[in-house]
Amino acid sequence: MSDKRDYYEVLGVEKSASSGDLKNAFRRLARKYHPDRSTEQDAEEKFKEIQEAYAVLSDEQKRTQYDRFGHNGPQGSPFGGFGGGGFNINLEDILGGDFFSSFFGGGGRRRRTSRGSDILLRHSIDMRDVYLGTEQEVIVDLPEPCDTCQGTGAKDGKLKTCATCSGQGQVRVRQQVGPFIQEAVQPCRDCGGKGKTADQPCADCDGIGRQMKSSTLRFNVPEGAENGTRMRMRGKGEPAPQGNGEPGDLFIELEIEQHEWFERSGSDLIMSLPLGYADLVLGTTVELEHLDGKALSIKVPPYSNSGETIEIRKRGLPRQRGGGRGDVVVLLKLHMPKKVAKSVRKSLDDVRSELAPGDTLTSIRDDAEERRRS
Ligand SMILES: [Zn+2]
Ligand SMILES: [Zn+2]
């Protein structure tokens, strides 16, 4: 099932909302959350959410389908995702030219601009990187505007207004549905909703307007980063369609590989340490190389019990809030050998009574008593 929020809820309107209500709600929210304007923390995500909700509800056919099937349309999702060019909403028309003119330097001149798609890149790191906040270097192929056509996709970089839609980017389509004639607005197929077409496509990029170029990205892993942390590199995403507008952003999502023995609990590192019976009785010190390359010394006191823990303060992961580090927590475990040599059996037999808890019934009673108290 989908965990998406209800589109009406996203826009804060009633199910019966008119197209005017929808437009007003969208305008209000889009102004608030537009990523180039908003100071809200999750503006980007919010903006996409309201954009999607509006794209579906403002399209009569899609709205009807949504009202009937919800997010789970009859053939998978009928609404598509964001991966492609996003939704075909003319923000300039809805928000008004002056909303954009101030940051596209239009000086009141209305221009049709759009933004390139965002790119998500998953990047694997290990616990050591989280511990130290290491610098990463990634070499990836990223789309950049084609040099030959400056990203327009047209030979010589010249685009002309699309004749099919007169540059509107969308066309009205009339369909006979049973006894009804339905009129719907659809993105123009000839120009892909962009309003402009190329007479002849650029030969170097086949009219796509982009080419893949190898790019070296450098960034630091935030100390103590959680699995799934996303970092944004502004303007490193897909170039705007036809070279007109802002490029999208590149998001790097961190995937933290499991450590061989450490398990993570917030900023604490938890591990279990199997020890022989003699080590638990006599006490011992175990040295391991820690994530920072320095020695991690685990001092096991004499008469330790299997199941007890030893805390080594401030050798865990960096705390994201409040600074400092978490702890390493070592869980002691009695290691039971599968087999022991004859000579060892003999020695154990000699000390058997010495190692035994004493009178059996007394020790059973004591143990039960202790369990009740704890
Ligand atoms: Zn080109
Ligand atoms: Zn067109």
CA dist., res. 33 & res. 44, Å (int): 7
Q: What is the mean pLDDT of residues 142-171?
A: 91
C-alpha span between 68 and 77 (Å, rounded): 13
Strand partners, 198: 159
Alpha helices in 12-96 (DSSP H): 19-33, 43-57, 60-69, 91-95
Ordered strands of the 119-125 beta sheet = 119-125, 250-256, 230-233
Measured in Å, residue 222 CA sits from the centre of ligand 1 at 38
Determine the Cα–Cα distance for residues 230 and 78; give it in Å rounded to an integer.
28
How many helices (DSSP H) and strands (DSSP E) are in the chain? 10, 15
Give the Å distance between the CA of 51 and the centre of ligand 2. 22
Flag whether pLDDT at 191 surpasses 60. Answer: yes
- CATH class, 263-373 region: mainly beta
Q: Is the dihedral of CA 66, 68, 72, 75 positive or negative?
A: negative
Which CATH code of 1.10.150.80, 3.40.50.2000, 1.10.287.110, 3.40.50.150 fits the domain covering 1-111?
1.10.287.110
Q: What is the distance in A from the centroid of ligand 2 to the CA of 161?
A: 8
Q: pLDDT tens-digit profile of 348-369?
A: 999 998 888 888 899 999 999 9
CATH 1.10.287.110 domain range(s) in the chain:
1-111
What pLDDT score does 92 carry? 55
Q: What does the mean pLDDT of the chain come to?
A: 85
Tokens of 356: 């035994």
The residue with greater pLDDT, 374 or 26, is 26
Ligand 1 centre from 239 Cα, in Å?
Answer: 12
Measure 52 CA to ligand 2 centroid, in angstroms: 22
Measured in Å, residue 111 CA sits from the centre of ligand 2 at 16
Please give the Cα distance from 1 to 238 (Å, whole number): 30
Q: Cα dihedral sign for 347, 350, 351, 353?
A: positive
Among 8-12, 32-36, 255-259, the minimum mean pLDDT is found in 32-36
- Ligand number nearest to the C-alpha of 144: 1
Nearest-CA neighbor of 270 among 331, 227, 323?
A: 331
294 Cα–ligand 2 center, Å: 64
pLDDT tens-digit series, residues 24-69? 898 888 888 877 777 777 888 888 888 888 888 888 888 888 888 7
pLDDT at 83 over 60: no
- At residue 100 the predicted structure's pLDDT band, cuts being 50, 70 and 90, is very low
| Cα-to-centroid distance, 93 and ligand 1 (Å) | 29
| pLDDT for the residue 113 | 58
Helices 43-57, 60-69: crossing angle, 10 deg rounding:
100
Given a cut of 90, is residue 99 above it in pLDDT? Answer: no
Q: What percent of the chain has pLDDT over 90?
A: 53
Q: What pLDDT score does 61 carry?
A: 82
Beta strand 250-256 with 119-125: parallel, antiparallel or unpaired?
parallel
Contacts of 106 (CB under 8 A, 6+ apart): 97, 100
Mean pLDDT of 220-247: 91
The rounded distance, in Å, linking the Cα atoms of 120 and 48 is 15
Q: What confidence tens digit (pLDDT) does each residue in 295-307 have?
A: 999 999 999 999 9
211 alpha carbon – ligand 1 mean position (Å): 8
**Which single residue is written with the structure tokens 């056509």?**
149
pTM over 0.85: no
Phi, psi angle pair for 233, to nearest 5°: -110, 110
| 106 CA to centre of ligand 1 in angstroms | 26
Residue 260: its pLDDT value, please?
96
Separation of alpha carbons 325 and 267, rounded Å: 7
Give the ligand whose atoms come closest to the C-alpha of residue 154: 1
**C-alpha distance from residue 242 to each of 80, 155, 161, 191, 193 (Å):** 22, 12, 12, 10, 11
Distance CA 278, CA 337 (A): 12
> 121 CA to middle of ligand 1, Å?
25
Residue 222 DSSP label: P
Please list the residue range(s) of the chain that carry CATH number 2.60.260.20.
263-373
pLDDT score, position 311: 98
Cα 268 from Cα 317, distance rounded (Å): 6
Residues with CB under 5 A from ligand 1 (ion): 146, 148-149, 202, 204-205
Token pair, residue 202, equals: 């650029």
d(CA 13, CA 24): 10
Ligand index nearest the alpha carbon of residue 147: 1
Strand partners, 324: none
